[in-house]
Chain A
Amino acid sequence: MATEPLSRWKVLSDRYYDNHHQWIHYEGTLVTVGISDYTQDSAGDILYVSLPEPGAILEKGQPFGSIESGKWVGQLYAPFNGVVIAANDTVKESPQLLNQDPYGRGWLIKAKVDNPTAESQWMSNQDYREFLATMIDL
């Protein structure tokens, strides 16, 4: 809710975020995508993860996989056009890593981005903190 302290959810300053609560991190020419602490916290126990195979084409805004927590299937949306270079087999085997370490061992895919200047469309960590502050209860 809007009055909750911003510190409730961890936000790392070394990466970008999109409005699907996914993080995007540049490592040289590769971009890693994962879910934010907010997502894992509000989802609860994550039980299943479905990810694309390497070589899969990512189309910005289109689902590239899904996660299931409790009784909810949530889509994962491609933050950019590109191609999947690697998917994290460890989280497919152990989805609880997404709860335990969403910014580290719980990464989802590594990809090559078609447009190298794509980062201008994402939120900085500060913008994302403000975005989180607007989340409301019904």
Chain B
Amino acid sequence: MPDQLFFAMEVAVNGLMAGVLYALVALGFVLIYKASGIFNYAQGVIALFAAMTLVGIMEGQVPFAHMINSTFGTKIHHFGWTIPGFVAIALTVGLMVLLAWAVQRFIFRHLVNQEPIILFMATIGLAYLLEGMGALMWGDQIKTINLGLPSGASIWVEDTTESWFGYGFFLARLDILATVIAAALVMALMIFSQYSKHGRALRAVADDHQAALSVGISLNFIWILVWSIAGFVALVAGIVWGASSGVQFSLSLIALKALPVLMLGGFTSIPGAIVGGLIIGVGEKLFDFFMNPIIGGATENWFAYVLALIFLVFRPQGLFGEKIIERV
């Protein structure tokens, strides 16, 4: 086989891996949207905030150090310890649950039964609040995550494919790991929502609030649960993206990539988020690969959106979204 074809395959596989990450971010959106009808614009910022918090805790940074120092004239920045990764992750998860509670308690509890656009505006506010809060707590310089995640190309994959096809595939070890983690997370979430008591309650709330109340489900609890899960998913996404490109503001912009993924897959479907993510991931890499020589670069920036627009015209509910037809 010609090298060109192998090269295309390699690009596609890399696209799949990027797609898994898109799917991961999109998943956070879908979870919250299904359960509460809120389109959570802040999902990307939550990922950024989670990653910043993780790094801050690991490095023993003093939260609000700048504020404390300028108020009291002190000069503290670090506690002087470092915390092992898994402990820091556990602490961060705890903090995300706390954040979920606070978001529910102080924002959305007061906005029950409001128009979707008002809920959406609230999440925009939340996004900027969290962005500022993150910078205030941990500073706004670019940080690196030292979780000991593998980096560089996987020699094993390159050698194996070399011996099979006579063409060595280049796959980043971090991408492979991220794919495995994301796939495991998605599987766990699906099993949880399909077969557990709380999963069933979650789907019930997503379907009909009034009926859910009547069978004894606390909406408040489910919403906190959903925001917590979304926070956890955001943390995973933040770690993976942060490990490859540093924890910085642009991390919150990956959320925008999730938008076309959702249009493609359907806002209310977990499988839709996954398949949508994969299609966009592979699609943009392959499109770039084939079209680059013809129209020049930078197609990756707009390809996903154009694809989503085409979908909006022909299948507005997305691939897996619920078509809104009601039996009368």
Is the pairing of A and B real?
no
Q: Which residues of A contact B (CB under 8 A)?
A: none
Q: Which residues of B contact A (CB under 8 A)?
A: none
